[in-house]
């Protein structure tokens, strides 16, 4: 298993601004994932971040809106750019246990855009 921390845990932001969410893992991992979740609902994968290469975005998500950095094997950031109220959600990062698909999640960042 892996221990994952996220910062901030929550934030309230004004529309038009940007927020960068940090994700730190206690061990080196190849792949990190960023998800979005409405409270009480399922997860939607935003992108997969591999160290040393550009993130791979899922359909409906673009780099200009959700730029991702992956500077090393234990850290990643997701920026939510030019926010609107529709971006209000919980953002989660996760890592995968090698080859199994099993995910270990951070506690999430609850974002509210006013």
DSSP 9: S
Evaluated on CA atoms 49, 82, 39, 108, the torsion sign reads: positive
8 binds other proteins (CB under 8 A): no
Cα separation, 96 vs 90, in Å, equals 19
Q: How many CB atoms lie within 10 A of CB 87?
A: 19
Q: Is 74 in the site for other proteins (CB under 8 A)?
A: no
Query: Is there binding between residue 106 and other proteins (CB under 8 A)?
Result: yes
Span interacting with other proteins, options 49-57, 65-73, 76-84, 96-104, rule CB under 8 A:
96-104
Rounded distance between C-alpha atoms, residue 19 and residue 11, angstroms: 9
Residue 60 interacting with other proteins (CB under 8 A): no
Among 43, 50, 57, 65, indicate the residue that binds other proteins (CB under 8 A): 43
Query: Which residue ranges make up the site for other proteins (CB under 8 A)?
Result: 4, 39-43, 45, 92, 94, 100-108, 110
């Amino acid at each position: 298993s892996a221990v994952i921390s996220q910062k901030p845990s929550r934030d309230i932001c004004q529309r038009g601004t940007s927020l960068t969410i940090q994700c730190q893992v206690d061990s080196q991992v190849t792949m990190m994932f960023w998800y979005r979740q409405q409270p009480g609902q399922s997860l939607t994968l935003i992108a997969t971040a591999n160290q040393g290469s550009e993130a791979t975005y899922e359909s409906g998500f673009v780099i200009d809106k959700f730029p991702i950095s992956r500077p090393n094997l234990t850290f990643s950031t997701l920026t939510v750019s030019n926010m609107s109220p529709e971006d209000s959600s919980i953002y989660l990062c996760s890592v995968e246990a090698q080859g199994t698909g099993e995910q270990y999640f951070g506690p999430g960042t609850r974002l509210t855009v006013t």
